[in-house]
Structure 1
């Protein structure tokens, strides 16, 4: 049997490694200005797919759908069909829209499904393999977006189909990522997958995904039901049964995107629009920005110990609230009015000192994370329709399980639930009972697609991957622009920091002054170095009506426009 599989692997993988006919070529553009339309995403081919749709007469919603499909092909570690996400949009006439297509716990899910007989979490069970997967919402989210688009579905999915069939040349980052995860793909799949070949991947290799093209073709011809009720649903259920998962065709059939009311609030005269619960980002952004509005942050200066100390202390308190109170609002009551009340926030800051760090134990479980492999894209069209979308598989390549014959990865979002209250998940955050596993429940998220208005017109469209660092990443770009007056590129490229209450530390990228680091340590902060925090894709609308896009230096992010 082993020899048979070895031969099968070679026969299957050789065609995937041969040069594809006319593979897609591209270049990465980090900063660009235009007037008609713009897309910024994690991959240049996805950004170009969105612009091509705009040039055909589509609007920002058409472009968002095309980008989502394309990312499922060219950015498999986070772009997806088997995951979920959030969309926040502002129409040119001022209407707002928020779509929640977050994954849900399958009907057979239980609070103890990741615990051993002693009640302790089983290592990696909620992260790798079939049990880690929640019922996917991405495809349903696309079809919930479609009524706001202009072009037929066929024209929106066709670019992704072509990319999957013809292939594209991978970057150095992509090659390193695929090689790093090779053993996980082999361990969790009984059949060959497009992401593994018999020699290491290298920059310039061509990745083709014929099975994924089949799934996209089925969506093009059969619509939503081809994924949630048809042969694709059957394929998902079958691999679940074979591998020991619990998602059924009934789970898929029952899945529905939820339209929610966007969360809106003001910061220094600007209006911030973001995703409400089950995104924790809206509460964190509102709490921290409200606290910052009481202080002369501009006078402190960027990268000063005074500014970082204040922001870290506000973040510490907000993330403590996240751990205790936040979860799916359809399942638990969340005291949003209390958590965002200025008097409550003042009480939370009563023990704040400009000279000394507050220990997280003193802040209290004021009575908790998701992985960093998420992706965000921002879109604006010539009419001023603005769309901000964040989508994810959770961990890089989700649970590593590829649906046989369909070519797409399933998520590992079940780890975003509180596996055991008070026990940190794989990414260090604590969870509480509010985010416990229940059938049909949406797990708490940090994804925070955001739009900022100036004088009631779009000013910033932004978002980021990064798990629990997403809200603080977005927060810092907003503060860099509004408080410190930075140009957009500088605001996005600047070094970042993050505090999430537990563990009690400030994560800091390289690039901060040594003096700042020493002053923070004197205040009692523990500093830990971070390789990269977030990966912003942002668009700014200038006073003259032109659009400026910036793709973060921290990835292969790219701007496309016309």
Structure 2
């Protein structure tokens, strides 16, 4: 069946070819209508407010494929929102968009209007991927965060106006809902407007994050003017944000980029940041062809570039499969098991830094990076008896010196509806509360996504940088097209989208949804999802046990380092065994907040990570 949409006519969706990999889809975009008053917008939400896009005629509802819908959400308010949307007849896309706007109110540390993200969808049995990642402003330059000696200016790419990239979230939600949603646009914004107007109760976790952010932003942004009253147990009301959401509900998603809200953003940037009205007007969320690979009888659907996590996840799954004889008989999370996985991760993160960037700006050899022969060659480099660091992993570590440490403060939710549609959505402000800059009059925070670029390129100040291309070629393991790629494809350039580890993932069985999952965590995202998937499918754990199990993280740099977490620290014996293998053991505060839904039969099984404060709910 064809899910009805509401919206102006536009060109049909065109999948991206494997050769093009990521060209944008042309489509007609309706301009916003004139903004109405906030009160009129709120009144109109209940019923008759005219929409700029006429609602399409509704077809008879399809027969349910499942006996319930389900959500796995980072807080109870967003789960309540999904339940409300399903009660009104909405589908998974309606619920996901409504949840995203609700989280912009109830989780201002990560949920957002002023950030960006990725959405992986299954609609009527067809997979889709929506890239609404932020973009560098047109005035951005490669060395903009360096002083006259070529050193990074502390905090410039993370705090304040110059850290802000052009936001993509609102256009992403607008694009997804008007294409695949069943409800009217104003209906999916109504819950968020309610929470912004009437308030919600702040929990202790959110206050802790606010307190840490307030120290970081003190005297440098207007953060405290808006969030000083964010205290545990208090009711937080956000009237300016309510007005912004009401305008969006009335005038459509492009109002954010072309209307009063755009004017507020530009005014906030004036004299401090780089974003112009032209930057906002030119922003478009992009439909891209999702990555897909067969694994253990399933079809894994995940994020393409500029996402790095999707390629990394598929590489890890395929390399582990190629090394199965070495893994046979090893207990999960034993020292020999961790040692093998760490060697796989070395190669995944080396490829990430060398080859992955914005595919609209530089060629990304996706097909080669996921080629079975290439991954078998990479897997053959893994030596179970070899000490870590005994052999170099291409590219050379020198090319990684300027790589940014991607922040873990993101949020994710997963949705499956009774018709078998599914959404896995990860979005972010980058750091907790983004740049700390709140749009005056708009009431929403802006991202610090510019920090996700390589802010200090190798050879900064020179005409170009060579990175690790020679080392990669010399190793014999570089994809054949490496000579056409930038040595550092994630450097700052006008209009470019930074790479991201966000990895919203769907797993299909015989073309039907079997698993929806994702997590925040920066570079730990793909290693977390890999461990949860192998817990489920290699070790036959239940969803609850798969999420509660111990996790570890390793990447190419810092070398020979394994990270554990307070939730499930490494037992002393395991730590000593890893040290004997040559590893350094470090603690980190956070290793994922997975929101997952498994479908095995006709009843969805949602599960929320015990490390967070999320909610898993079956909705009938």
- Residue pair 1:37, 1:381 contacting (<8 A) in 2 also: yes
SS in 2 for 1:224: coil
Q: Which residue of 2 aligns with 1:174?
A: 206
* Partners of 2:350 and 2:321 in 1: CA distance: 20
In 1: Cα distance, 2:343 partner to 2:197 partner: 50
Structure 2 length-normalised TM: 0.81
Q: 1:484 and 1:190, CA in 2 relative to 1: closer, same or farther beyond 3 A?
A: closer
Residue 472, structure 1, aligned to residue 531, structure 2:
no
Partner of 2:367: 337
Cα distance in 2, alignment partners of residues 533 and 136 from structure 1: 26
Residues 194 and 358 (structure 1), Cα distance of their counterparts in 2 relative to 1, 3 Å cut: same
Match of 2:176 in 1: 145
Contact residue 605 and residue 618 of structure 2 kept, 8 A: no
User: Which of residues 537, 544, 566 in structure 2 aligns to 1:482?
Assistant: 537
Q: Which residue of 1 aligns with 2:105?
A: 73
CA shift in 2, pair 1:298/1:165, >3 Å: farther
Q: Secondary structure at the residue paired with 2:444?
A: coil
Name 2:51's counterpart in structure 1.
none
Residues 1:239 and 2:294 are matched in the alignment: no
C-alpha distance in structure 2 between counterparts of 1:387 and 1:186, whole Å: 37
SS at match of 1:68: helix
Give the deviation of 1:185 after TM superposition: 4.6
Matched, 1:507 2:507: no
Residue pairs, 1:386-405, within 5 angstroms: 386-405=422-441
What does residue 301 of structure 1 align with? 331
Deviation at 1:114, TM superposition (A): 0.5
Deviation at 1:529, TM superposition (A): 1.4
Displacement of 1:358 in angstroms is: 2.9
Corresponding position of 1:223: 252
TM-score by length of 1: 0.89
Matches within 5 A, 1:204-283: 204-242=233-271, 244-283=272-311
Unaligned runs of 5+ in 1: 1-33, 425-429
Which shows bigger deviation, 494-503 or 249-258? Answer: 494-503
Provide the rounded CA distance (Å) in 1 between the counterparts of 2:425 and 2:295: 22
Q: Determine if contact 1:48/1:560 at 8 Å carries over to the other structure.
A: no
Q: In the alignment, which residue of structure 2 is the partner of 1:314?
A: 344
Deviation (angstroms), 1:364 = 3.1
Identify unmatched segments of 5+ residues in structure 2.
Answer: 1-65, 461-467, 469-485
Whole-Å Cα distance in 1 between the matches of residues 551 and 263 of structure 2?
44
Partner residue in 1 for 2:189: 157
Match of 2:71 in 1: 39
3-state SS of 2:411 partner: strand
| 8 Å contact kept, 1:418–1:432 | no
Structure-2 residue corresponding to 1:136:
167
Rounded to whole Å, the distance in 1 between the matches of 2:223 and 2:417 is: 42
What is the SS of the residue equivalent to 2:445?
coil
Structure 2 distance, partners of 1:281, 1:132, is 23
User: 1:352: how far off?
Assistant: 2.3
Q: CA RMSD in A?
A: 1.9
- Is the 1:262–1:273 contact (alpha carbons within 8 Å) kept by the matching residues of 2? yes
Q: CA deviation at 1:186?
A: 4.3
Distance 1:371 1:46 in 2: 23
Aligned residues: 518
Kindly indicate whether residue 124 of structure 2 is the aligned counterpart of residue 124 of structure 1. no
8 Å CA contact 1:185–1:196 kept in 2: the answer is no
Pair 1:380 & 2:416 matched: yes
Three-state SS of the structure 2 residue aligned to 1:560 is strand
Distance in 2, matches of 1:298 and 1:554, equals: 30
Within 1, Cα distance between the matches of 2:137 and 2:395? 29
Deviations 1:150-193 (A, max 9, x none): 11111100100010111111111111111222234542335863
* Gap change, CA 1:423 and 1:376, over 3 Å in 2: farther
Aligned to 1:413: 449
Determine the structure 2 residue equivalent to 1:530: 588
What is the alpha-carbon distance in structure 1 between the residues aligned to residue 294 and residue 171 of structure 2? 32
Residues of 2 paired with 1:102 and 1:233: CA distance? 18
Counterpart-to-counterpart distance in 1, 2:316 and 2:85: 37
User: Which residue of 193, 197, 204 corresponds with 2:225?
Assistant: 193
Partner of 2:597, secondary structure, is: strand
Contact 1:193 1:407 in 2 (8 A): no
* Residue aligned with 1:517, SS: helix
Match of 1:427 in 2: none
Distance 1:356 1:557 in 2: 41
1:136–1:191 distance in 2 versus 1, CA, 3 Å: closer
Q: Tell me the SS of whatever aligns to 2:219.
A: helix
1:447-476: CA deviation from partner (whole Å, max 9, x where unpaired): 000001123321110000011111111111
Q: Pick one of 111, 119, 139 that aligns with 1:108.
A: 139
Structure 2 equivalent of residue 28 of structure 1? none
Identify if the C-alpha distance between structure 1 residues 392 and 149 changes in structure 2 by more than 3 Å, giving closer, same or farther: same
Cα deviations across residues 102-125 of structure 1 (Å, max 9, x unaligned)?
000000000011010011111111
CA offset at residue 361 of structure 1? 7.2
Closer, same or farther: CA 145–423 of 1 in aligned 2, 3 Å: farther
SS of the aligned residue for 2:167 comes to coil
Q: Distance in 1 between matches of 2:390 and 2:306?
A: 24
Structure 2 Cα separation of the partners of residues 411 and 423 of structure 1: 27
Of 68-77 and 507-516, deviating more is: 507-516
Shift of 1:286: 1.3
Instruction: Tell me the equivalent position of 1:456.
Output: 511
Cα distance, 1:501–1:403 mapped onto 2, change above 3 Å = same
Work out the CA distance in 1 between the residues paired with 2:329 and 2:67: 34
Residue pair 1:393, 1:412 contacting (<8 A) in 2 also: yes
Distance 2:218 2:443 in 1: 15
